[in-house]
Amino acid sequence: MKKKKVLILGKLPPPYMGPAIATQIILNSSLKDNYDLIHLHTGANSSLRSIGKWSFSKLFRTVGIYLKLIRISLFQRPDLVLIPFSQSTLGFIKDFFFIALARLFGRKVLLQLRGSNFQNWMKSSTPLIQVFVKWSLRLSEGVIVLGNNLKPLFHGIFEEKKVFVVPNGGNYDLSFRVKRNDLVRVLYLGNLQSSKGIEDVIDAISILSEKYAGKFSVDVVGNWRAEKTRVLCMNKVEENKLPVTFHPPASGADKMKFLSDADMLVFTPRAPEGHPWVIVEAMAAGLPIISTDRGAIVESVHHGENGFIVEVESPSAIAAKLELLIADANLREQMGASGRKLYEENFTEEKMVHNLSVTFESAMGSGR
């Protein structure tokens, strides 16, 4: 039987960001056994520092991407086009042309939201932009969100059956093992920026450093997004002699080693999130997790079961939960095992592929 063609728009790493990692995992997954996957790389940024900055070169690259979409629509004739869309006005206008071109050439469109800031952006936009966005979204067959608690973001735009839930999922070369390290290893893994909560983590370590000196260490792995944040965090570490080691961004086997060696993950974003890959990876590694209630995180981190959900921008709350986990190896083991079980039941590649397949069939089978 001939496979249906699905065109997937999306960036690929580098730079390493959630949406780019998601595209890479989907393209390499067993989804390609069920569908003829076509990929259109939409990245116009060569590094994290160029994101959000306008340039003629980025404009020309974007026009080139539109032309590639037209060629694929005309000659390869995909049955469905999956388009992630931005949660900013300029970004959405760029994505609108992907939607419009795909529809112009008779392709069915399925949208994907890889975050949770949609309503905040809409409320801050002018009435004209709000009308434009809602009209544009309705050109599609529906939208994918990363968690059940994100479905209300599209209330009044799509009927409920057109809002599909597909959490992130992946298979990793990681296995749960009991760790009884004398020196407890805390891991922060992500882009190093204020919105991701790195400053709150450093302040929390400062609170604990004297009481638990010599009993724990912290590995901070990621890319600095702003020089001001880098200087602020490094100065605090140096001035207070904190047990923190900064590492450059890690991927592949290097990232898996950090996860395998760690005793727990702390990732406490301030800003809206989707379903961070680092949370899925930490669960696969059997790590208890300290995080915040952002996006779909609470659907993976169940407070008191496989980790803790703390208040946003609260170093004292982070410190209190770190203290519990540093002091109690049995609690770390119990929470890590619970997280691994939750991962195996809900967030593997097989689960994601199944959810995507059901969603694709629903979108392709719907009539306009």
Q: How confident is the model at residue 2 (pLDDT cuts 50, 70, 90)?
A: confident
Residue 74 has pLDDT above 50, yes or no: yes
* Tokens linked to 120: 């905040």
**Is residue 267 within 8 Å of 279, Cβ to Cβ?**
yes
pLDDT at 368: 46
pLDDT at 297: 98
Residue 171 has pLDDT above 50, yes or no: yes
pLDDT at 53: 61
3-state SS of 233-283 is HHHHHHHCCCCEEEECCCCHHHHHHHHHHCCEEEECCCCCCCCCHHHHHHH
Contacts of 192 (CB under 8 A, 6+ apart): 198, 220, 222, 223, 224, 225, 229, 230, 233
Residue 178 has pLDDT above 80, yes or no: no
pLDDT mean across residues, the chain: 94
pLDDT at 175: 79
Tell me the mean pLDDT in the region 247-268.
96
Tell me the mean pLDDT in the region 89-104.
97
Residue 151 has pLDDT above 90, yes or no: yes
Residue 118 has pLDDT above 60, yes or no: yes
Tell me the mean pLDDT in the region 246-274.
96
Cα separation of 207 and 320, whole Å? 9
Q: How confident is the model at residue 14 (pLDDT cuts 50, 70, 90)?
A: confident
Residue 161 has pLDDT above 80, yes or no: yes
The residue with tokens 């009044």 is 156
- The lowest-confidence range among 133-142, 166-175, 184-193, 352-361 is 166-175
**Is residue 219 within 8 Å of 247, Cβ to Cβ?**
yes
Residue 181 has pLDDT above 80, yes or no: no
- Phi and psi (nearest 5°) for 214? 80, 0
Tell me the mean pLDDT in the region 256-260.
96
